[in-house]
A and B are shown apart, each in its own frame.
Chain A
Amino acid sequence: MDNGFSGNSPPARSRWRKVAYGGMQPGFDDNHTDESFLEEMVMNANVVKRNMLKVMLDTVSISQYLCTVALVVLIWTYTLKSAISEISLLLLDASLLVLGFLVLILTADMLSLNLLFHYFLNISFFTTGLYILSPIYHTLTRSISSDSIWALTVSLLILHLFLHDYSGSTVKPPGALKNPNLTSNISLNASIVASVLIASRLPSRLHVFAIILFSLQIFLFAPLVTYCIKKFSFGLHLCFSFGLIAVTLGFVYHLHRLLFVLLLGLLVSINLVCPYWLIRLQKYKFEINGPWDEAKLCFDITE
């Protein structure tokens, strides 16, 4: 029986069926709510149980990156104070580059000579371009006051930290499948603009070149390097992070006591308070799935 309204229905109330055809079902109004109503609703199907320790260990990458940025800012401040000469800056650049490559080579599963050469070529082009452009950066913001530049830099860095992709790296290792998303691109660009702004306050062209090169190395490649370390060994990642955090705290303590307290507070809240908070909030999680959800395709669409 599929046309329930065609009459001659037995006097006993026929069962209500979840169908839309055949007109109004005999004995039931259109607003009838059956016991089977919302039967297929699934609650909190995809919720992951989180473990406090795991969350805390995961947040270490955030504090690590925060400290990296703090170190960059420290270098900027010292350079602006003329405490670091351009030669030592260039040496720092070179040693960072070598160190970064060492880490990449040591942690990579496969890194061909060809790829290394490709990297080398790119970097030399990039450095030459930067060197040629540094006179322009040097005079770029001459008509703007230093206060505005600092204010802008700080806001850009905050934007950078907010939108940064902490789970991976915006600059992908070769062969990565996923493209970086919009927010991590915005974040990267904010950091680059911030470094150009700071560099334009410096006394000489060589300074400008050295500091921009340094900032770009950190902002572009530090996430990639730390990502590689983390993939290689989580223990090493933890050691590296704690070392970095300790060094940063030491330097900041040296520079300014209030900033030190601020940074320490921030690190504690990121590593202890926020994980605890997240775990506490889990019980309010309420996720609903049901037949009305859009079906997910079980294969990848290759455009």
Chain B
Amino acid sequence: MSDSRKHRILMVSDFFYPNFGGVENHIYYLSQCLLKLGHKVVVMTHAYGKRSGVRYMTGGLKVYYVPLRPFFMQNIFPTFYGTLPIVRTILIRENISLVHGHQAFSTLCHEALMHARTMGYKVVFTDHSLYGFADVGSIHMNKVLQFTLADVTQAICVSHTSKENTVLRAGLPPEKVYVIPNAVDTAMFKPAPERLSREEIIIVVISRLVYRKGADLLVEVIPEVCQMHSNVRFIIGGDGPKRVRLEEMREKHSLQDRVEMLGAVPHAHVRSVLISGHIFLNSSLTEAFCIAILEAASCGLLTVSTRVGGVPEVLPDDMIVLAEPDPGDMVRAIGTAISILPRIDPQTMHLRMKKLYSWHDVAKRTEIVYDHALSCCNQSLTDRLSRYLSCGAWAGKLFCLVMIIDFLLWHLLQMWQPAEEIEEVPELVFHNREESWNVNEDHGLI
């Protein structure tokens, strides 16, 4: 690879380790693989508790925990311009060539992308979630997204459904939006070494027990399945406001010996829970991609899932049984899954997953997006303003105003603290001690 194709990427999101979820996972694995490909990657997020300042993670991944406190749902307080100085400093210090923001409801991501565009950097944005169009919250979020995406160089979505959603929400030309799914670290999610007996069939559920994850569906489905199949047991991992309802259901139908509730399962223990079951049940009501299904399939479990969002795209038809999100159809789907279970070999399933999903593949495809982004021509402020202006009668003018003020503030900062005065960090080369980069789950810091 020629040196010119080596990118220096800044990943920005409010969501990163020690917090845990799909976005955090995605950023971490993508960064690790990009580092492997020889790019330089720096992550910027907000401070988590006492974890503030610069930290290094596996493989020399540098993380800036910017000293801003989370204000609502792990997001920083939106101030529009409050983050400009620190974003500018990091961009210059780290000699960044491209900024990659993650997640539509991350305030830090939106602010950083805005500043980066003002300073003339190329930006890429990844959307990890789906949004409706009807309620007030969605309408507001969609306008914010339109603002950020109006000027983004390239956008990435995690599934085709998510792409359709993003294109509609932000009014982007579809050619600018790439679909690059999540992946799974198959080395971490290996099936059980010995095949479980099928005398008793164990169905595993691991999710937060909230409305959006369909906990209410579980309450309806579990007693019916237990009644129809006498050899089925459930293991439910996860915690949340709906846990009480599930426990009530268990009491009411006296299923204490057949439904086990584990409470919150730390991600490091997810595999050990998964491999104790035959079938993985996902009951989400909305899902852009659903990494949990990948983890289950990688452990060799047959998946039963609701047909929502991007879920139908995630696995080949013979590895998943889909159902409409209503209890009757889900009970039918679980019945189908139990009947085809003898034909499922966990080891074969695992090997297939290895071929279907890999983070290295994700990184290579993301690299192509970066190349495309960098080959886009530079645009002057007036060109960009006209694009903002077309965002809406009132919103367009407001967006323009926000961008003009950002531009002025940036020039003020240039005078107050010239770029030459900011010291660039020296290049550090990390030598990996081991060739395989199986990342330990404590996201161990060096």
Least Cβ–Cβ distance between A206 and chain B, in angstroms: 48
Select the stretch in A47-55, A116-124, A284-292 that faces chain B.
A284-292
Chain B residues in 8 Å Cβ range of A289: 133
Q: Is the CB of A292 within 8 A of B356?
A: no
Q: Does A303 reach chain B (CB closer than 8 Å)?
A: yes
- Picked from A3, A33, A37, A295, the residue with its CB within 8 Å of the CB of B306 is A295
Flag if A30 contacts B309 (CB, 8 Å). no
Our pick among A18, A295, A298 for the contact of B160 (Cβ within 8 Å) is A18
Most chain B CB within 10 A, of A3, A289, A293, is at A293
* Interface residue B441 (Cβ < 8 Å from any Cβ of A): no
**CB-based contact A31/B178 at 8 Å:** yes
Check: B53 CB closer than 8 A to any chain A CB: no
Interface pair A297/B285, CB less than 8 Å apart: yes
Also in contact, A299 and B285, with CB within 8 A (given A30-B180, A38-B164, A287-B133): no
**Which of the residues B165, B313, B357 comes within 8 Å of A292, measured between beta carbons?**
B165
Asked if A2 is at the interface (CB within 8 A of a chain B CB), the reply is yes
Does A98 touch B at the CB level, under 8 Å?
Answer: no
**Which residue in chain A gives the minimum CB-CB distance to B134?**
A287
Q: Is A41 an interface residue (CB 8 A)?
A: yes
Q: Which of A1-38 contact B (CB under 8 A)?
A: 2-3, 5-6, 18-24, 29-31, 33, 37-38
* Given contact pairs A30-B179, A37-B174, A290 touches B165 in the complex (Cβ within 8 A): yes
B59 at the interface (CB under 8 A from A): no
B308 touches A291 (CB 8 A): yes
CB B297 to nearest CB in A, in angstroms, measures 10
Binds A, one of B192-200, B361-369, B420-428: B361-369
Q: Does A177 contact B (CB under 8 A)?
A: no
Contact A19/B313 with A291-B308, A297-B216 known, Cβ cut-off 8 Å: yes
Question: Is there an interface contact between B313 and A18, defined as CB atoms closer than 8 Å?
Answer: yes
Query: Is B132 in contact with chain A by the CB < 8 A criterion?
Result: yes
| Known A-B contacts A295-B286, A301-B216; A3 and B352 likewise in contact (beta carbons under 8 Å) | yes
- Minimum CB–CB distance from A300 to chain B (whole Å) comes to 10
User: How many whole Å from B348's CB to the nearest CB in chain A?
Assistant: 12
User: A39: nearest residue on chain B (CB-CB)?
Assistant: B164
1/0 contact trace for B161-195 toward A, CB 8 Å? 11011011000001111111100000000000000
Query: A295–B288 Cα gap in the complex (Å)?
Result: 13
Tell me, yes or no, whether A147 is within 8 Å of chain B by CB.
no
Residues of chain A within 8 A (CB-CB) of B167 are 38
Query: Chain A residue with minimal CB distance to B168?
Result: A288
List the A residue with the shortest CB-CB distance to B315: A21
- Distance in Å: Cβ of A110 to nearest Cβ of chain B: 31
Q: B286: nearest residue on chain A (CB-CB)?
A: A294
Say yes or no: A38-B168 contact (C-beta < 8 A), given A2-B316, A21-B314, A30-B180: yes
Q: Is the CB of B181 within 8 A of A20?
A: yes
Give Cα A3–Cα B349 distance, bound, in whole angstroms. Answer: 12
Q: Which residue, of A19, A288, A292, has the highest number of chain B Cβ atoms within 10 A?
A: A292
**Which of A6, A40, A41, A303 is B245 in contact with, Cβ under 8 Å?**
A303
A-B contact count (CB 8 A): 109
A18 to B313: give the CA distance in the assembly, Å. 6
Q: Which residue of A lies closest to B285 (CB)?
A: A295
Question: How far is it, in angstroms, between the C-alpha of A299 and the C-alpha of B369 when the chains are bound?
Answer: 44
Q: Which residues of A contact B368 (CB under 8 A)?
A: 29-30
Number of interface residues of A (CB under 8 A): 33
Q: Are B164 and A37 in contact, with the CB atoms below 8 A? A: yes
Residue of B nearest to A290 (CB): B164
User: Is the CB of B239 closer than 8 A to any CB of chain A?
Assistant: no
Residue contact B132 to A292, C-beta cutoff 8 Å: yes
Tally of contact residues, B, Cβ under 8 A: 53
- In the complex, how many angstroms separate the beta carbon of B121 from the nearest chain A beta carbon? 21
From 277 to 294 in chain B, residues with beta carbon under 8 angstroms from any chain A beta carbon are 285-286, 288-289
B217 an interface residue at 8 Å Cβ cutoff? yes
Q: Separation in Å of the A122 CB from the closest CB of chain B?
A: 33
A:173-189 near B, CB below 8 Å: none
From A20, A33, A40, give the contact of B310 (CB < 8 A): A20
Taking a contact as CB atoms under 8 Å apart, the answer to whether B369 and A30 are in contact is yes
Contact A31 B132 (CB under 8 A): no
Contact assessment for A297 and B176 in the assembled complex, using a CB-CB cutoff below 8 Å: no
Q: Which B residues lie within 8 Å of A5 (CB)?
A: 361
Pick from B286, B313, B326: contact of A298, CB under 8 Å: B326
Nearest B residue (CB) for A286: B133
- B159 on interface, CB distance cutoff 8 Å: yes
Residue-by-residue, is B292-319 near A (CB-CB < 8 Å gives 1, otherwise 0)?
Answer: 0000000000000010111001111010
Question: With an 8 A cutoff between CB atoms, is B325 at the interface?
Answer: yes
Chain A residues with CB below 8 A from B356, complex form:
2-3, 21-23
Q: Which residues of chain A are within 8 angstroms of B212 by Cβ–Cβ distance?
A: 294
How far is A18 from B365 in the complex, measured between Cα atoms in Å? Answer: 17
**Bound Cα distance A292, B133 (Å):** 10
B131: CB under 8 A from chain A? yes
Provided the pairs A18-B313, A287-B134, A292-B309 are in contact, do residues A31 and B164 lie with their beta carbons within 8 angstroms?
no
With A18-B313, A30-B179, A30-B180 in contact, do A291 and B161 touch (Cβ < 8 Å)?
Answer: yes
Instruction: From known contacts A6-B355, A295-B286, infer whether A20 and B313 are also in contact, taking CB-CB under 8 Å.
Output: yes
Task: Return chain B residues, CB-CB under 8 Å to A19.
Answer: 160, 313, 316
Residues of B within 8 A of A292 (CB): 130-132, 161-162, 164-165, 286, 288, 309
Report the Cα distance A24→B361, complex, angstroms.
8
B247 in the interface (beta carbon within 8 A): no
- Complex: how many Å from CA A21 to CA B318? 13
Bound Cα distance A298, B217 (Å): 10
CB < 8 Å: which of B158, B175, B217, B314 contacts A297?
B217
Please tell me if the beta carbons of A294 and B285 are within 8 angstroms of each other in the complex: yes
- Residue contacts A-B, CB under 8 angstroms, 15 given: A3-B352, A3-B356, A20-B181, A21-B316, A23-B356, A23-B361, A30-B365, A41-B164, A291-B308, A292-B130, A292-B161, A292-B286, A297-B216, A297-B285, A303-B245
What is the interface of chain A, defined by CB distance below 8 A to chain B? 2-3, 5-6, 18-24, 29-31, 33, 37-38, 40-41, 287-295, 297-299, 301, 303
Q: Which residues of B contact A (CB under 8 A)?
A: 130-134, 158-162, 164-165, 167-168, 174-181, 212, 214, 216-217, 220, 245, 285-286, 288-289, 306, 308-310, 313-316, 318, 325-327, 352, 355-358, 361, 365, 368-369
- With A23-B358, A31-B174 known, 8 other A-B pairs at CB within 8 A are A2-B352, A20-B179, A20-B181, A288-B168, A292-B132, A292-B162, A292-B309, A295-B286
Shortest beta-carbon contacts, A-B, top 7? A2-B316, A20-B181, A295-B325, A292-B165, A292-B130, A294-B286, A30-B178
